[in-house]
């Protein structure tokens, strides 16, 4: 989050940051991320400026005069159906990114978590993937977590070489470029006639498929690394559909 780069309002000193500049920042961010994430960033800004006030850097908090975005009905998440997954995987058959997309589907990891995975993060003995900070990168909210290493994912990882630090790397040995992965995914979706899907859709698909198989929301929340069960409530309608289907099959 920076006021000094890109199209964001440019300021050199804290005291030059005004509510108007934060409002502009808010609108620019809204073009790239969802409302809840924008509100989360505003919360961080308020805490930052409060700290600056405590240290006598500035006299007041400009973020206090900026309204949070109103969130009305939460949109139901877009997830891939079983048929769409098969079509997507078919279009990726000869792509070097297929394995990455498969692992996103089977783990629910965030894209940044996957790209920054190093071999030392994979604990085959304990059968878990450790998500933890790296130099220049940190998990969401700086929170470390462990993801169970399923047999399927373990088999997928066994096909990788261990010549580089990162599991997924470019031909030069650097970690995979996020934009290259995204572009490969978009092209595959276009060929597979899959609409309104992003890489984050794979995370929604992981969670949705679990809920539809009867896994409780608390467990899904833990697997996704949500800090609050409220974030997982967007899948609750799928849980109700599953329960309704179970009751419909009841016969005496």
**What average pLDDT values come out for the chain (252 residues) when binned by 10 residues?**
52 84 88 82 92 90 90 78 96 94 97 96 96 91 91 94 92 90 96 95 95 91 89 84 67 70
> Are 117 and 129 contacting, i.e. CB atoms less than 8 angstroms apart?
yes
- Residue 129, pLDDT score: 97
Note if 191 is an active site residue: no
- Residue 238, pLDDT score: 84
Note if 242 is an active site residue: no
- Residue 39, pLDDT score: 87
Note if 140 is an active site residue: yes
Q: 138-143, long-range: CB within 8 Å, 24+ apart, which pairs? A: 139/110, 139/112, 139/113, 139/225, 140/110, 140/112, 140/225, 141/227, 143/225, 143/227
Residue 214 carries which DSSP code?
T
Residue for token pair 């462990």? 146
Instruction: Give the contacts of 48 (CB within 8 A, at least 6 positions apart).
Output: 63
Q: Which listed residue (132, 169, 178, 200) is catalytic?
A: 200
Note if 235 is an active site residue: yes
Q: Which listed residue (25, 26, 98, 235) is catalytic?
A: 235
Q: Which listed residue (24, 40, 127, 140) is catalytic?
A: 140
Q: Which listed residue (29, 145, 166, 203) is catalytic?
A: 203
Domains (ranges, CATH) in the chain? 14-65 (no CATH), 82-247 (1.10.443.10)
- Residue 151, pLDDT score: 95
Note if 10 is an active site residue: no
- Alpha-carbon gap, residue 208 to 234, rounded angstroms: 10
Nearest CA to 211 out of 232, 243, 227, 235 is that of 235
Which token pair is 64?
């206090």
Per this entry, what is the length of the chain? 252
Outline where the chain has alpha helix (H).
19-30, 35-54, 82-91, 98-107, 111-115, 151-157, 178-191, 199-212, 217-224, 236-248
Q: Which listed residue (110, 166, 175, 204) is catalytic?
A: 110
């Amino acid at each position: 989050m920076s006021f000094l780069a890109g199209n964001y309002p440019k300021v050199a000193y804290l005291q030059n940051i005004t509510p108007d500049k934060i409002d502009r920042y808010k609108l620019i961010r809204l073009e790239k991320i969802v409302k809840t994430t924008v509100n989360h960033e505003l919360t961080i800004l308020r805490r930052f400026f409060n700290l600056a006030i405590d240290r006598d850097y500035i006299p007041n908090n400009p973020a206090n005069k900026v309204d949070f975005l109103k969130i009305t009905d939460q949109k139901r998440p877009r997830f891939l159906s079983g048929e769409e997954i098969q079509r997507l995987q078919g279009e990726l058959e000869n792509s070097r990114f297929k394995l990455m997309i498969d692992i996103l589907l089977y783990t629910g990891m965030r894209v940044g978590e996957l790209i920054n995975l190093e071999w030392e993060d994979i604990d085959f003995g304990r059968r878990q993937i450790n998500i933890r900070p790296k130099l220049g990168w940190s998990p969401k909210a700086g929170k470390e977590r462990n993801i169970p290493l399923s047999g399927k994912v373990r088999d997928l990882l066994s096909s990788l070489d261990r010549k580089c630090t990162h599991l997924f790397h470019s031909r030069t040995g650097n970690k995979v470029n996020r934009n290259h992965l995204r572009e490969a995914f978009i092209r595959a979706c276009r060929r597979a006639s899959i609409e309104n899907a992003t890489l984050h859709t794979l995370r929604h698909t992981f969670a949705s498929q679990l809920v539809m198989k009867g896994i409780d929301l608390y467990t899904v929340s833990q697997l996704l690394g949500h800090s609050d069960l409220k974030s997982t409530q967007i899948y609750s309608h799928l849980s109700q559909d599953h329960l309704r289907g179970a009751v419909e099959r009841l016969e005496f």
